[in-house]
Every structure is written in C-alpha cells, then in structure tokens.
C-alpha cells in the first residue's frame, strides 16, 4: 500500500486566470493551508482491465470525478492493467471551502506515482492534479497552494513549477473554523456574472496585500472580499459580528458556507465559547497551519 497526505486550504480572496494551456490557468490571491486534510492510500492488483474502486471515508463512491481523472491520466500509458483501490480519508468537510477536491487529487497523484513506479518528479505529479482540477472545474489555484503549504500569496497563476507563491509569516497562530454546508465551486465558476466582478475586486486587494502581507491584513481583506460578493449567510454574518465584539476578525471560506479566523492559541477557548453561545449547529475545527505542503507518508 502507498499513501500520501495533502493539507486542506482556505482561500481568502483571489483573481481568476484562464489560459488555453491548463498548466497556465489558475488564480492569484491569498490563502492558508491547514494541518487537517486528506490522506490517500492506493493498492494495486493485476487485472485484465484497468478499473478503479474509490472510497471516501470508507464509503464507495462513483462521484469522485477529480480522482477518476487523475487515476485515468496516470494509468493511460501503462502496458499493464490493474484493479486499483483508492481510499481517501478526509478530516476536512467536503465541498465546504477547505480545498478537499484539490487535496484528494494531489495526495492521490503522489500515491499513484509511487505505486505505479512512474518516476515522475513531485512537480510533474502535482501538475497532473492541477490539470484535473481545472478540467473538472472544482478549483483553480488550490493545488499550487497545497504543493507549497503555509500562509501564502499566489503571485503568478498556474500549476506547480509555473505559478509562483510568496509565503508570509503566520507564526504562533492557529485556524479556527466551522462550516454549515457546501457551495458548488463548479456552479460559481460557470456563472457568467462572477468572473469580471471577482477579478476587478481581487486585483485591487492583491495589490494592497502585496505591499505588506500579514495575517491581520489577510483577514481584513478576506472579509472585505466576502462581504462584497454578498455570499454571507445571515447566521454566519451574525457570528462574525459577535466575534467583532471580542476583537476576533472572521471571514468566509471561498467557497463554502464556512467561516474562519486566524487566532492566537490563547484565544481558542474564547472562540469555542462564542461558537457555543451562538447555538450554531456546525462542524467546528481548530487546526494548526501546515507549512510543509503535500507529501508521501
């Protein structure tokens, strides 16, 4: 069995970039990788025909379009056929703004590269995961972020090896976040009204952030971005305003009905108490910041 892990990722604000060459498509903007993520294991068995069995948290699924794309791409040139068992274990909510599809794609690509003895570099392997996300319209810049880890600004769009990332200091901070459910990234990316507004706003905020990147400015600009898009559900907005009274700045995950903050360790109990006080029935996560990025286990 071969295994790999990819952290999750929360995007605060961004600008979309499209190219005919998917390696150059992606996004610029700022985000932060969290130590919760997706672990993927792969088992091979010789077969008359190549086929895949995919599980997510021990449940068989036929809906893992990104994982199927990665697996088909990486087995397409083999002379031998396999029955491949793929098991994703996610401790981040799926479809809720934590980069789960990118995490699954990247950890699977790393594990398959080892299992099939393809000999690809990590960069080339990650590029397959990036193209899978672009083709399946489940993300644009997530894989580049997951490849690098940390609190980061994506300066140039594209796959690992093409896109460029600048990390900023997030020492002694942790992520506090909770979710109430999902938003379809695919539906948003296909909405013709979204790109121009997002890009104009995103470009302005990226320029402001590049001059003096910091955790506090990241939170402030992320919040402005989310409020400007008018995606905030009312109960998340209420929590955000409640947290303001305790000097905890929150914003919304792009894209999910989820809220996050980057807090000091001594603020963890306060955030938990605010969550309890709000009576929100969501999944609460406290996570360290992942500075390593995706890797083999």
> What are the residue boundaries of the structural domains of the chain, listed by start?
1-297
The span from the CA of 145 to the CA of 263, in Å, is 21
What local confidence, expressed as pLDDT, does residue 234 receive?
87
In SS3 terms, the chain reads as CEEEEEEEEEEEEEEEECCCCHHHCEEEEEEEEEEEEEEEEEEEEECCCCEEEEEECCEECCCCHHHHHHHHHHHCCCCCCEEEEEEEEECCCCCCCCCHHHHHHHHHHHHHHHHCCCCCCHHHHHHHHHHHHHHHCCCCCHHHHHHHCCEEEEEECCCCCCCEEEECCCCCEEEEEEEEECCCHHHHHHCCCHHHHHHHHHHHHHHHHHHCCCHHHHHHHHHHHHHHHCCCCHHHHHHHHHHHCCCCCCEECCCCEEEEEEEEHHHHHHHHHHHHHHCCCCEEEEEEECCCCCEEC
What local confidence, expressed as pLDDT, does residue 251 receive?
96
Two tokens, residue 223? 């919040």
Answer whether 50's CB lies under 8 Å from 82's CB: yes
Two tokens, residue 273? 């108490």
What local confidence, expressed as pLDDT, does residue 188 receive?
64
CATH number at 1-297? 3.30.230.120
Looking only at the bridges linking them, the beta strands covering 26-46 and 51-56 are: unpaired
The span from the CA of 24 to the CA of 162, in Å, is 7
What local confidence, expressed as pLDDT, does residue 143 receive?
98
Two tokens, residue 46? 């010789």
Answer whether 202's CB lies under 8 Å from 28's CB: yes
What local confidence, expressed as pLDDT, does residue 229 receive?
83
Summarised one tens digit per residue, pLDDT across range 236-289 is: 999 999 999 999 999 999 888 899 999 999 999 999 999 999 988 888 999 999
What local confidence, expressed as pLDDT, does residue 184 receive?
63
Q: Torsions phi, psi of 102, nearest 5?
A: -65, -40
Summarised one tens digit per residue, pLDDT across range 193-227 is: 677 888 999 999 999 999 999 999 999 999 999 99
What local confidence, expressed as pLDDT, does residue 63 receive?
87
What local confidence, expressed as pLDDT, does residue 187 receive?
61
> Tokens 């910041």 belong to which residue?
289
* pLDDT beneath 50: ranges in the chain: none
The span from the CA of 131 to the CA of 21, in Å, is 9
Distance of CA 103 to the CA centre of its chain: 6
284 Cβ partners below 8 Å, 6+ apart? 176, 177, 178, 272, 275
């Amino acid at each position: 069995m071969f295994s790999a892990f990819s952290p999750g990722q929360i995007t605060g604000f961004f600008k979309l970039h499209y190219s005919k060459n998917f390696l150059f498509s992606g996004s610029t903007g700022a985000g932060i990788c969290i130590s919760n993520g997706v672990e993927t294991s792969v088992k091979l068995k010789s077969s008359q025909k190549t086929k895949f069995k995919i599980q997510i948290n021990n449940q068989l699924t036929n809906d893992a379009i990104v994982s199927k794309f990665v697996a088909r791409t990486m087995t397409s040139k083999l002379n031998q056929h396999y029955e491949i068992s793929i098991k994703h274990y996610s401790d981040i909510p799926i479809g809720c703004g934590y980069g789960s599809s990118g995490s699954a794609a990247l950890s699977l690509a790393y594990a398959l590269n080892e299992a099939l003895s393809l000999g690809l570099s990590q960069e080339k392997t990650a590029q397959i995961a990036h193209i899978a996300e672009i083709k399946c319209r489940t993300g644009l810049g997530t894989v580049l972020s997951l490849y690098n880890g940390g609190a980061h600004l994506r300066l140039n769009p594209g796959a690992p090896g093409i896109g460029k990332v600048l990390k900023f200091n997030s020492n002694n901070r942790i992520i506090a976040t909770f979710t109430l459910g999902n938003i379809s990234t695919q539906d948003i990316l296909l909405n013709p009204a979204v790109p121009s507004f997002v890009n104009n706003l995103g470009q302005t905020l990226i320029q402001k952030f590049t001059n003096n990147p910091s955790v506090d400015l990241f939170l402030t600009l992320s919040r402005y971005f989310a409020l400007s898009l008018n995606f905030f559900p009312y109960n998340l907005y209420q929590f955000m305003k409640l947290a303001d009274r305790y000097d905890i700045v929150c914003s919304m995950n792009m894209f999910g009905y989820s809220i996050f903050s980057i807090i000091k360790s001594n603020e963890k109990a306060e955030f938990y108490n605010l969550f309890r006080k709000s009576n929100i029935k969501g999944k609460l996560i406290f996570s360290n910041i992942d500075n390593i990025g995706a890797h083999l286990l």
